[in-house]
Amino acid sequence: MNMDIIIQPIYLVSAGLFILSLMWMNHPSTARRGVFAGVVGMLAAIGGTLLLPEVHQSSFFISYRWIGLALAIGFGLGIPLAMVPLTAVPQRTALSHAFGGLAAGLVGAAEFYLSATGNRATALSAFETSALVAEVLLGFLTFTGSLMAAGKLTEIIPTRPILYRGQNAINLSMLAVAIVAGVLLVINPSWWVLFPIIIVLALTFGVMLIIPIGGADMPTVIALLNAYAGLSAVAMGFVLDNKLLIAAGALDGSSGLILSIIMCKAMNRSFANVLFGGFGQVRARAGEAEHRTAKSASAEEAAQIMEAAQNVVIVPGYGMAVAQAQHRVRELFDELTKRGVNVKFAVHPVAGRMPGHMNVLLAEAEIPYDKLVEMEEINGELPQADVALVLGANDVVNPAARHDQSSPIYGMPIIDADKAKTVFVVKRSMNPGFAGIENELFFADNTLMLFGDAKAMIGSVVQALKE
């Protein structure tokens, strides 16, 4: 029986489910459906792959026993990774990209080894070798690059850019040598010694690509690494002659690239500036030139002003995520809404440590979807807002982005929180954000600082409202 009659329709259904998954995840109200579609699509893809005739061929060193063991290990690693708190989702996402890149790289290495030793059903053609080189290069650099990104997000590795003289030239030279080695391998596959050189250069380049990038650019980096992982899957699909891998990889790669473009636009940055700009270096000195005093307020004073307000805009940031304050924010939302106050949430595209970070946290607290307003829309309403409550956001509300041409964030679209009648900023200290610069908003005449942990401070405001 020709198994293609069964397998190809399964692959077609899987590809359709992947497309629907991406489409449904465009909106919070259909996101759960999108996740479910993606899971079902992947299960179908795995089931279809297990039906391939190659799975039963001992010459390929493949058996259901080894596949079952691999699935057990995958489940054993995946379940604990899925149970991390929402504040750890950015670094968990980076680890997922790392595993995806490693898988692609290992499959490429295995295919090259099988071909070199004559154990592959057919020798690799020039096109397949080209695809294999791209797969290995992208897969292994995604692996180490994603590990570095996860390290920066967890602050195991310094979040500031790590720079040295001639860094960009060295990095690009390393990539060029890997590409030249790949071209030579395509021309003459018998030069197998070039293959491990490509792997080592790819692993090293992944590290060197990420260390000069500051923590403020991690949302863009995560999206870009997602694109690399997708492209490596496309190349793997060509090597294995698997149409579903090509389709799924193309979806992954294109969505990651589009998201990277959106992130760069939201920060008014270019890809070159993100990858080679060393964003955040020498920024710590920016706040030393002038010493200003910020005004502070108590939770009770904040409660009184917000209770008397008609319109309140809440601007969530990474500080809310770290403190896991989203449920306290929901309590504040309920208390103000009961008093007839119109409350909205202003969500910046790069707030937090990954795209959609704030949306996920607010959705977990069951904040109504229609209360989450994008930056472009909410900025028109902020001059009429009585109160803007900034929860741990920093660079995305810094007015210096509008007028200070010497600032590293100059030109970056920001949420105009400073235009509200009264601004409350909840923050542990006056320390700068990831851009490493002082925030002018903290010293504005209409700003009052609420110093402390976001969860505890918002809890105190809620308690003051109840009393």
Q: Pick the residue with more confidence: 278 or 6?
A: 6
Quote the pLDDT of residue 61. 52
Query: At residue 416, does pLDDT exceed 90?
Result: yes
Read off the pLDDT of each residue in 32-51 and give the average, rounded to a whole number: 92
Q: In 10 A of CB 27, how many CB atoms? A: 11
Query: What are the φ/ψ torsions at residue 427 (nearest 5 degrees)?
Result: -155, 145
Helices of type H across 317-407? 318-323, 326-338, 357-364, 375-378, 400-403
**Least confident among 198-202, 288-292, 400-404, 458-462:** 288-292
Quote the pLDDT of residue 279. 47
> How deeply is 112 buried, as exposed, middle or buried, from its count of CB atoms within 10 A (0-12, 13-18, 19+)?
buried
Task: Evaluate whether 375 touches 382 at the Cβ level (below 8 Å).
Answer: no
Read off the pLDDT of each residue in 283-291 and give the average, rounded to a whole number: 46
CATH number for 289-466 (one of 3.40.50.12780, 3.40.50.1220, 2.40.160.60, 3.90.280.10): it is 3.40.50.1220
Read off the pLDDT of each residue in 274-285 and give the average, rounded to a whole number: 51
Q: Pick the residue with more confidence: 406 or 125?
A: 125
Locate 33 and state its tokens: 């459906």
Q: How far apart are the first and last CA of the chain?
A: 75
DSSP 283: -
User: Residue 121 in 3-state DSSP?
Assistant: coil
Quote the pLDDT of residue 277. 57
Nearest to 248 by CA among 55, 77, 13, 28: 13
Quote the pLDDT of residue 213. 81
- For the chain, give every domain's residue range: 88-281, 289-466
**pLDDT band for position 168 (cuts 50, 70, 90):** confident
Furthest-apart CA atoms within the chain: distance in Å: 80
> CA Rg, the chain, in Å?
25
Read off the pLDDT of each residue in 418-428 and give the average, rounded to a whole number: 93
Q: Pick the residue with more confidence: 147 or 81?
A: 147
**pLDDT band for position 275 (cuts 50, 70, 90):** low
Query: At residue 433, does pLDDT exceed 80?
Result: no
DSSP 119: -
Q: Pick the residue with more confidence: 12 or 267?
A: 12
Task: Evaluate whether 274 touches 217 at the Cβ level (below 8 Å).
Answer: yes
Read off the pLDDT of each residue in 413-431 and give the average, rounded to a whole number: 90
The residues, ordered by sequence, that sit 6+ positions from 278 with a Cβ below 8 Å of its Cβ are 161, 163, 212, 213, 214
Catalytic positions, written as ranges: 395
**What interhelical angle do 126-153 and 194-210 show, nearest 10?**
30
DSSP 156-207: SS-SS----TTHHHHHHHHHHHHHHHHHHHHH-TT-TTHHHHHHHHHHHHHH
Task: Evaluate whether 232 touches 249 at the Cβ level (below 8 Å).
Answer: yes
Query: At residue 62, does pLDDT exceed 60?
Result: no
Query: At residue 284, does pLDDT exceed 50?
Result: no
> Which pTM was predicted?
0.79
Q: What angle do CA 404, 408, 412 make, to 5 degrees?
A: 75
Task: Evaluate whether 233 touches 252 at the Cβ level (below 8 Å).
Answer: yes
Quote the pLDDT of residue 291. 62
User: Residue 293 in 3-state DSSP?
Assistant: coil
Query: At residue 273, does pLDDT exceed 60?
Result: yes
Q: What is the pLDDT of residues 332-346, one digit of tens each?
A: 999 999 999 999 999
**pLDDT band for position 25 (cuts 50, 70, 90):** confident
Element (H, E) at 373: strand 372-374
Task: Evaluate whether 451 touches 431 at the Cβ level (below 8 Å).
Answer: no
**pLDDT band for position 319 (cuts 50, 70, 90):** confident
Nearest to 78 by CA among 55, 61, 103: 103
3-state helix, strand, coil in the chain (%, to 5): 65, 5, 30
Read off the pLDDT of each residue in 242-251 and give the average, rounded to a whole number: 92
The residues, ordered by sequence, that sit 6+ positions from 65 with a Cβ below 8 Å of its Cβ are none
Query: What are the φ/ψ torsions at residue 366 (nearest 5 degrees)?
Result: 60, 40
Task: Evaluate whether 448 touches 427 at the Cβ level (below 8 Å).
Answer: no
Q: What stretches of 40-145 adopt beta strand conformation (E)?
A: none
**Least confident among 173-182, 362-371, 379-388:** 362-371
